[in-house]
Structure formats: C-alpha cells, structure tokens
Amino acid sequence: MTHADKAAEFNKNEAKVNWHDKALWYVREKRDKSAHGVIGWEHIRDVASGIKANVLSNLDNYLIEFEKNALNNGIKVHWASDAKEHNEIVSKILADNNAKKVVKSKSMLTEECHLNPHLEAQDIEVVDTDLGEFIVQIAKETPSHIVLPAIHKTKEEVDDLFQEHIGTKPSEGNPEYLTNEARKHLRNKFLNADAAITGVNFAIAETGGIVVCTNEGNADMGSHLAKVHIASMGIEKIIPKEEHLGIFLRLLARSATGQPITTYSSLFNKPAEGKEMHIVIVDNGRTEQLSREDFRASLHCIRCGACMNTCPIYRRSGGHSYDATIPGPIGSILSPGKDLTKHSSLPFASTLCGSCSNVCPVKINIHEQLYKWRQVIVKDVKQPIVKKSILKVAGGVLANRKLYNFSGRMARFMLKYAPRFIVYSKLNAWGKARDLPEVKGQNFDQWYKVKRKNNG
C-alpha cells in the first residue's frame, strides 16, 4: 500500500484526524515558544549541525575511540552489521545471564531491528516501559511517532486496552488513573526484571559514556534495578566530546516537546558494582546511507520528532501511513535508502513546504533531500511503479473528499500561486501525470500585484 492509501485509511475517522492534527501543532507551538526563549538558539543549531557533519567525516575513528574508553570503564562493547546480528547479540547476552524477563525503555533502534518478536520467540518476556510504548505494545501495534508513540490512540481506546490487559476499572479514559495503574503494573515488572534494554541518545567518544534521556524515569528504573543493562545504539549516535552534550541537550527536549530539558538526562560511564553493562553498536544500513552524498545528512538526526509535529502531511495522515519505524519527513528520507521500491511513495508524501527543515535542530535539509529522492525514484524505480504511486498520491487524494479538504488547501494554493513550471514539473506529485482542475480566481501575477497593492 502506498502512503496515500494508508493515509486514506487514517482519514476515515475525521474527528480523530482533526484532534491528531491539532495536538501535534500544539506541540510544534510549544517548541517555538521554548526555542525562541533561548538566546543564541540559531548558533546552537549551526554548531550542532557542524558537529554532526564532523562526526560523519571521522566516524570510524570516533567509534574506535568510544570503544576503547568504554572498555576501559568496564563496559562490554558489541558490533552488529544488521538487525539479525543485533538480535543475536542481545539473545546471547540474555542467555549468558539466564535472563528470562526483560524491561525495555524507548529505543527506535530495537523497533527497527524487530527485537521484541525475536526475543518472544525464545520465550523471553519483553515489556516496553515507556507509557506510550506500553500502550502500543499491548495493542499489538507499532509506535506511530518517535517521541509520542501512542499519539494515534484516544484515551477511551487506552481505557479499553488497560481493562483487558492489566485489569483496570472503566474510567472513561481518565489519564491520571490510567497512568497510575500503569505505574503500578510496570513497577512490578521493573522489580522482577533480569535485564534492561535501553536506547542511547548520545554516545561520547572522548569518555566512552552514554546518555539516555526520558521524562518518565523508566530507563533508569530498568537499568539500575536489573543485573544486566544492554544499550543499543546506531553508529551515528556518537558525539566527539562530553562538552558537546551541552549543545545537544539544549536542543533535544525543546525541539521535541518544548520542555527546556527532559526530566532525566542520565550519564552512564561505568557499570555499578556487581552489574554488567553492554553496548551494542549497530550499522543496519547506516554506512550505506553514509555513502550517499545527497542523503548523508539524514544521519545527523537526533530523533526529536519536530519535523513530524510540524509536517502538514504527517499531522493529517498519521505515523502508520509511512509503514516504517521512523515516520514523517525524516523517515521519508531514511526509508527509501533501505528499500526504494517499497517506500517509493514516501518522498512524495510532502508538500515540500520546508517547515521540517526550518524546525530541525541539527539543520538537516529535509525537504531538499525529499526532492532529491523524487529525482532518484523517477530515474531508478521502474516507471510503472513510479507513475502508479505518484498518480495514487495525487489521484487518491483528489478522489477522497476528506483528504482533499486538507490537501486541497495546499494543492489549490500551489495551483493558484505557484508558477506553472513548478506545478507541471514532472517531479511534482500534485502536477505529474494528471491534468489538474482549472483554478478559478487570479493567476499568480494578478495575485502578486493585488497583494503588492494591498500592502501599499
């Protein structure tokens, strides 16, 4: 199914879509308010972007430095070329420790590697302990957003799920009651876990330490209670020096939710007495993305989710419509790198308005990369697939009244105001392969003149 097909699915529930749209826009507004309150914000973004560019250009040396320092601190380091190797390494660590019960905190990488089903097949209990992830886990779904995994669920749906899975009373979706019940349920899991798996927000070459950021405290509850802590990280999580955390921690939470910092920013440098700490460094397609000059900068991503919250397509199509672990604008750059045919519709799920690039804390030129993928796809993917998928984006949207209502505004704006060569360029999803309806009203020149006149 293409993105448009899946988006149409999500758009069947109009009230929910409207809520989703507004809720995410509200998060975007909180981000703005928070970012604007920081003097020198743009300088921080520039330097962050520059540090990430330096990291990619020296990544092998930084990885070696990181490994050396981590080993010196008593942390065990493992390397995995792909998801399969990652999962096997994790299984082996668990088996060596006779661990049968695992608590996990949010880690998009373990989602990407499909770790949960792998472990469950070996009779290991895996519990996702971030509340949003816990919700999607019991719903047998995947996160629809990297920071707000259950943003697609209503509180009533959560209420039903909790009644079924953890025996809560009907509460009409009372968030406080439900959160508290989850707290009790998860506390029990933390206390009985043999091992904890976490993600990594930043890994510091200079010290061999890692940083994990959460608001709930679940990564710390898991890792400090269990005997074994396994942290999985993509190779691109490296930063050169510890002082660089000052930069990235200022950016991350503000961009994600508008908070000045996450509740907990935990710096792990050594395992506690009597405990084991493992770090699994994973490639899984990242070095391939590194080889693509045009798309390399997508590896700067610090997974804040801001590009999703601001994206007019994401907000009205939902994270699941992208059919990938990382949805939204950044996901639409990363996914085609993994499977161009499967994800060929994603770079077209964008208005190219550039809002994503504007909010990105590490200044990834997201919309330009989307445009570049379109060029690759038109050239490389067999034409019928391209035509079909592009037609479906434009055709599917135009044929669906509800979808049209939102994209229509965008499309009409484009049709009315964008110069003809953009609308009818073969790279534009809205113009390609279809005669667009005639637009009433002024043409661009007239509109521009009127505007100018009105503005004096």
CA distance 399 to 409: 14
Report d(CA 42, CA 295) in Å as an integer. Answer: 23
Between 116 and 129, CB nearer to another protein: 129
Euclidean distance between the first and final Cα of the chain, in Å?
Answer: 50
Considering the complex, what minimum distance in angstroms separates the CB of residue 8 from another protein?
A: 24
Per CB under 8 A, contacts with another protein among 220-279 are 220-221, 224-225, 235, 240, 242-243, 245-247, 249-250, 257, 259-270, 272-273
Query: DSSP character for 196?
Result: E
Per CB under 8 A, contacts with another protein among 193-222 are: 207, 209, 215-218, 220-221
Binding to ligand SF4 by CB under 6 A, coded x per residue (else -) over 332-361, reads: ---------------------------xxx
Question: Would you count residue 302 as binding ligand SF4 (CB under 6 A)?
Answer: yes
Q: Which is nearer to another protein, 26 or 447 (CB)?
A: 26
Burial class of 436 by CB neighbour count within 10 A (0 to 12, 13 to 18, 19+): middle
User: Per-residue string for binding with another protein, 332-371, x by CB under 8 A?
Assistant: ----------------------------------------
Per CB under 8 A, which of residues 74..113 are in contact with another protein? 78-81, 85
- Produce one character per residue of 104-117: b if its CB has 16 or more CB atoms within 10 Å, e if not: bbbbbbbbbbebbe
Span of 117-125, 283-291, 374-382, 411-419 interacting with another protein by CB under 8 A = 283-291
Q: What gap in Å lies between CA 173 and CA 322, rounded to an integer? A: 28
Q: How far apart are CA 339 and CA 288, in angstroms?
A: 12
Q: Which stretch binds ligand SF4 (CB under 6 A): 74-82, 90-98, 109-117, 304-312?
A: 304-312
155 makes contact with another protein (CB under 8 A): yes
Q: Which of 290, 210, 288, 296 is nearest to 248 (CA)?
A: 210
Residue of 322, 232, 345 lying closest to 284 (CA atoms): 232
CB of 341: closest distance to ligand SF4 in angstroms? 23
Separation of CA 261 from chain center: 18
Q: Which residues bind ligand SF4 (CB under 6 A)?
A: 255, 301-307, 330, 359-362, 364, 366
